[in-house]
Amino acid sequence: MIQIPPYLRKGDTIGLTCPAGYMESAKVQTCIQTLQSWGYEVMVGKTIGSKSKTYFSGTDGERRDEFQAMLDDDSIKAILCGRGGYGVSRIIDELDFSRFKKHPKWVIGFSDITVLHAHLNQRIKTASLHAPMANAFNDGGAKKIYVQSLQKALKGIKSNYTAKAHAANRTGTCEGKLIGGNLALIAHLVGSKSAYKTRNRILFLEDIGEYIYNIDRMMVQLKRAGMLSNLGGLIVGKFSDIHKTARPFGQTVQQIIQSHVAEYDYPVCYDFPVSHELENVALKVGVMHQLTVTKNRSVLKEL
């Protein structure tokens, strides 16, 4: 059984931290102001705007200790990661979730935060939120439906998302616990104790900045690991800023994914609004959903 953390009430505190890549303090101000306008208090960690001279928002120890403190602080009801990048897998095995299990809270983010989503799902058996992070609030993003979907999720409003029809969709209906995130991180976790188990699950995937052959290689990895054969359904989000090699790979991202799941019969939805771009809705990882793919549209409904 997956435990669902309590939904937030006005006056609750959200911790803001960077467990991975560096983020400037100036880039979180709109996020802080928006969270406050939603009625929440915000505790800003020292990793935000860290003075680290490396890629990371502080040393492994600093990032680990701050995240641990927020996990253990009962006054913090949700943890919003400022950004992804890389770094969570360097500290995940040093985090102690024993208190968190007794007092669960929502962990929010995407990209490298996929490591946390998978670990919470597989090891801690607790739901989490794959959702926009601090930078998404900037440049008018706070007023868009994608950031607002996070607000609704924190309140406990059940989601019901619709995607337009896509020529490559495979029709069908399924129900299952929703898992997923960034393809590169899901493949990165294969063989570790945090790796997703996918049987009867609805898996969603997205990525950014990869060469096309890398996407094929990662899909091969998932397939060889048995992660594609017994899915309940597959949701393909956006693959942004994709790079091509001098000699063409010969397939698009869509064609690559199609080829790797062609032998299976579960429903597949393409072009769903989950991504590194503006179109990135809040998704409750570990929670039961229904996916319905028809000729006219795809619907992902939280049950």
Class of 13-155 per CATH? alpha beta
pLDDT tens per residue, range 271-296: 999 999 999 999 999 999 999 999 99
Virtual torsion, Cα 147, 271, 183, 185, nearest 10 deg: 0
Low-confidence ranges of the chain (pLDDT < 70): none
Contact 66, 91 (CB under 8 A): no
At 157 the pLDDT is 98
Contact 6, 78 (CB under 8 A): no
pLDDT at residue 106, as a whole number: 98
pLDDT of residue 257: 98
Provide the whole-model pTM. 0.98
The pLDDT score that the predictor gives to residue 164 is: 97
Domain boundaries, the chain: 13-155, 160-302
What architecture (CATH level 2) is domain 160-302? Answer: 3-Layer(bba) Sandwich (3.50)
Structure tokens at 166: 């896509």
* Structure confidence at residue 14 (pLDDT): 98
Tens digit of each residue's pLDDT (9 = 90 or more) over 179-200: 999 999 999 999 999 999 999 9
* CA 211 to mean position of chain CA atoms: 21
- pLDDT value of residue 17: 98
Q: Which of 27, 223, 34, 38 is nearest to 135 (CA)?
A: 27
Quick one: DSSP state of residue 21?
A: B
